[in-house]
Amino acid sequence: MSINAVQFQAGFSMPEFFASYGTEAKCYRALYQWRWPQGFRCPCCAGRARSRFKRGGAIYSQCSACRHQTSLIAGTMFQGTKLPLRTWMLALHLLTSTKTNMAALELMRHLGVNDKTAWRMKHKIMQVMAEREATRRLSGFVQIDDAYLGGERNGGKAGRGSENKQPLLIAVQADATFTAPSVVVIEPVRSFDNASLTDWIARRLAPECEVYTDGLACFRCLEDTGHAHTKLDTGGGRAATEAAGARWVNVVLGNLKRAISGVYHAIAQGKYARRYLAEAAYRFNRRFRLPEMLPLLATAMMRCKPCPEPVLRMASNYHG
């Protein structure tokens, strides 16, 4: 039996983490390098000359040209935090190094913070992952499937019309022989209708893809938008899920549902599904780069705009 390259790859161990980011000074230097790799740049005028001063224990920089004052974390996803940078770095490490991911309550126990703080940290990090995945487009050979998060409520609608179900699309880009998946897109949609699918296709597929689906009626618009469309005879049973054109999308979908039920048990899919799905896609798309995931995600945190709690809670599952 061959060794799974993803499971057996070297990661970024705890001793390595504490050697690199175990103190506040080390975290500051790392974040500084990721935000300003070419040296300080004023966010207002792009000036390089500056003076530095301390206020309230924090280090600030004042641009010598426009006199604008800023700090390392101002204008980033870290803005406004009262937590030490090393706590944030440990959270990023835990959320990128674990195979099965980590819920906010588990993060709370590891970091020694309260549940509300852990929730904010977790959702800010997932928001950054969602923003990084928002512009991903698939090309070449693509497998697409429709699915739902959630289940039926007692006394509610049954089947596809259930008010407790969040429709989503999962798409996997693979090689021509379907030997291995490359990258995925997992995103909620309003419904499985032509309008939603046409919008999704325009944003998520490069021109002239070769797409494989189960033939759901809404997928007919793939042909109208210039893509080659193969409808698979999914029928039922195990053989249907292992068909060449559907295998990887079913593998990823199965892993996604097991992760959500095993790690989170339940999520508010009507409001936050986009973040949880983007988190799964972000981790999958970087599965061969475990040692790099912490600096990649921390750099993304430094480049994303602030997201205060009121904005964090006003989440939307849909694009636009």
Backbone phi and psi for residue 261, each to the nearest 5 degrees, phi listed first: -75, -35
Per-chain mean pLDDT for the chain: 90
* Interacting residues of 234 by C-beta distance below 8 A, sequence separation 6+: 214, 215, 240, 241, 243, 246
- Sorting pLDDT into bands at 50, 70 and 90, what band is 153? low
| Per-residue pLDDT tens digits for 57-67 | 889 999 999 99
pLDDT over 90 (residue 300): yes
Q: How far apart are CA 188 and CA 170, in angstroms?
A: 9
Q: How far apart are CA 108 and CA 115, in angstroms?
A: 6
Q: How far apart are CA 179 and CA 13, in angstroms?
A: 30
DSSP state at residue 160: G
DSSP state at residue 208: T
- SS3 state at 312: helix
> Higher pLDDT residue, 316 or 47?
47
Backbone phi and psi for residue 154, each to the nearest 5 degrees, phi listed first: -60, 130
* Interacting residues of 84 by C-beta distance below 8 A, sequence separation 6+: 24, 27
User: 205: number of CA atoms within 13 Å, CB side?
Assistant: 29
2-16, 21-35, 62-76, 156-170: segment of lowest average pLDDT:
156-170
Q: How far apart are CA 63 and CA 49, in angstroms?
A: 6
Please tell me the predicted confidence (pLDDT) of residue 40: 96
Domain ranges (residues) in the chain: 141-151+163-288
Q: How far apart are CA 305 and CA 185, in angstroms?
A: 23
Helices 85-97, 290-303: axis angle to 10 degrees equals 130
Domain 141-151+163-288: give its CATH architecture. 2-Layer Sandwich (3.30)
Determine what percent of the chain is predicted with pLDDT higher than 90. Answer: 73
pTM score of the predicted model: 0.91
- Sorting pLDDT into bands at 50, 70 and 90, what band is 1? very low
